[in-house]
Structure 1
Amino acid sequence: MSTTASDLSDLLPTADQVMEKLALAEAEKAEKARRREALAETEKKRLLDALTKPSGVSDEQALRRVAKIVERAVSNGLTEVEVRRFPNTLFSDHGRAINQGERGWESTLTGLPKEMYEFWARQLRPRGYKIKFQIADWPEGRPGDISVSLKWS
């Protein structure tokens, strides 16, 4: 059986055809990445919106949660436990006053961090617990998330 020149040309696409196929595949990958990024951004915005609103948790519910957290930490020999991290965008100065240890840093709190601080002041401080807000990480040398820890030592 003899093959013709046209049959042979069907075996291997031209360099231009290969490059076109690669470009289409890259464009498809980029579009998928863009959609993932948009979805992640939407989810991040939804979470930030939720963190700026009241939690709806009563003092009694919060005390029960804190009791479990403290009990677990004590059983592990700890005298301090990180209870939550927040994006620095929930702080009016993005954590600058916390990082500098400035007096009145608590006035920079908003949303759930403020609610947690106020709960601590009402319910936990009278019981001898301390609260600590600090910069938890430093992406690109700038303050990142802010952690909230509870201490009892």
Structure 2
Amino acid sequence: MKELAARRLGDEQWRNLLAQARESAAAGMNELMLIRFPSQLCVDGGRAINAPDANWPQTLRGEPADIFARWRQELEPKGFRLAAQIVEFPDGVPGDAALFLMWDA
């Protein structure tokens, strides 16, 4: 987890995510999974995302935190939404989480 928490989102990686979002929109989709990560990467093990708690963004670390910050700065003002969700529950406990970028079709 220390290694994952230390990873940072690079500009090229962000541009690639935006290009994927454009391709998804052109294909008629209205959301894109930006990143999937172990819920243990969150400071609370993903509990705030699973609850859902409005303060879930404060639990993010590493690349997920960077993606949230870039979304807030660049995309939220343009009407894009971001959601977090636990996408896997091995043995009934939160496994992987994901951040989804959403837009109106």
1:149 to 76, 100, 105: 100
Unaligned runs of 5+ in 1: 1-47
Could you report, residue by residue, the CA deviation over 1:53-92 in whole angstroms, capped at 9, with x for unpaired residues? 242613xx35522331112212321001112100011101
Match of 1:51?
4
- Quick one: distance in 2 between partners of 1:89 and 1:115? 17
In structure 2, C-alpha distance between the alignment counterparts of 1:53 and 1:151, rounded to whole Å: 27
Cα–Cα, structure 1 residues 55 and 136, in superposed 2: closer, same or farther, change >3 Å? same
CA-atom RMSD in angstroms: 1.7
For structure 2, the residue ranges without an aligned partner over 5 or more in a row are none
1:100 equivalent to 2:37? Answer no
The answer to whether the 8 Å contact 1:84/1:147 transfers is: yes
TM-score (norm 1): 0.62
Aligned to 2:83: 132
Segment of structure 1 superposing worse, 79-88 or 102-111: 102-111
Aligned residues: 104
Q: Please give the residue correspondences for 1:1-150 in structure 2 after superposition, counting only pairs within 5 Å.
A: 48-55=1-8, 57-58=10-11, 61-150=12-101
Structure richer in strand, relative to its length: 2
Bigger relative contact order, structure 1 or 2, given CA contacts below 8 A and separation 6+?
2
Higher helix share: 1
CA contact (8 A) 2:24 2:30 kept: yes
Deviation at 1:123, TM superposition (A): 1.0
Using the TM superposition, name which of 76-85 and 64-73 deviates more. Answer: 64-73
CA distance in structure 2 between the aligned counterparts of 1:125 and 1:78, rounded to whole angstroms:
18
> How many percent identity over aligned positions?
31
TM-score (norm 2): 0.87
Q: Distance in 2 between matches of 1:91 and 1:63?
A: 20
Larger Rg belongs to = 1
